[in-house]
Chains A and B, each alone.
Chain A
Amino acid sequence: AQTVTQSQPEMSVQEAETVTLSCTYDTSESDYYLFWYKQPPSRQMILVIRQEAYKQQNATENRFSVNFQKAAKSFSLKISDSQLGDAAMYFCAYRSAQGGSEKLVFGKGTKLTVNP
């Protein structure tokens, strides 16, 4: 079974600075998807960024980018120019791209605080 580990329960960053959230995963599959979801205090789950495992190029979405290291099974999220609105829980998630499983497997989350 796949597992996702987020080793940082909490992180903090100064406004306008850069922060990196860590995520590692365990799988025996070669084809899969990885995601970062943001959960603000409203508790809605909002997609931040996604990565297909077959793509070597790291995904970017504006101020958000990932460092995807397939061999190391690592998928970190970098937030540049942090803003107060980035404060939230961030969840890393895995989904298989083979075998028909649709479920997302989530990590335990990292609580990000942005200090003004």
Chain B
Amino acid sequence: EPEVTQTPSHQVTQMGQEVILRCVPISNHLYFYWYRQILGQKVEFLVSFYNNEISEKSEIFDDQFSVERPDGSNFTLKIRSTKLEDSAMYFCASRDDRRTEAFFGQGTRLTVV
């Protein structure tokens, strides 16, 4: 069964460094998302992406964050200058236009030190 894949599974970075989290959505899906989950807290929406542009973003998704679909398969989340509070699990998800549910990747655990 097709699945959303995310790399790396765990990334450690120093505060102030840039990180890029990578996702390969399911191939025929058109809607893409990033969510994050700080340890022990609920899952929070960051951004949705459709037709090569951001369709919605949350207050969390400030100028430090950006998303890109550089080719036909990858969907990336970039954090320009990481802060300690960016430490979290980051989930990519995708959906096709015939179904109501989004499918999630296994997540990338980001640790900022």
Contacts and interface: CB of A to CB of B under 8 A. Distances in A.
Interface stretch (B21-29, B67-75, B101-109): B101-109
Contact-residue bracket for chain A: 20 to 34
Interface in A100-114: 100-109
Contacts, number: 59
Contacts of B35: 104
B56 interface: yes
Across the A-B interface, the 9 shortest Cβ-Cβ residue pairs: A45-B104, A103-B45, A102-B48, A44-B106, A106-B43, A108-B42, A33-B100, A106-B42, A50-B101
Interface in B38-60: 41-45, 48, 50, 55-56, 58
A109 B55 contact: no
A97 B48 CA distance: 15
Interface of A: 33, 35, 37, 42-47, 50, 52, 91, 93, 95, 97, 100-109
A111 to B, nearest CB: 10
B106 A52 contact: no
A14 B95 CA distance: 35
Contacts of A50: 100-101
Contacts of B65: none
29 contacts: A33-B101, A43-B37, A43-B106, A43-B107, A44-B104, A44-B105, A44-B106, A45-B43, A45-B91, A45-B93, A45-B104, A47-B101, A93-B43, A95-B100, A97-B100, A100-B55, A100-B56, A102-B48, A102-B55, A102-B56, A103-B33, A103-B48, A103-B58, A104-B35, A104-B45, A104-B102, A106-B43, A108-B41, A108-B42
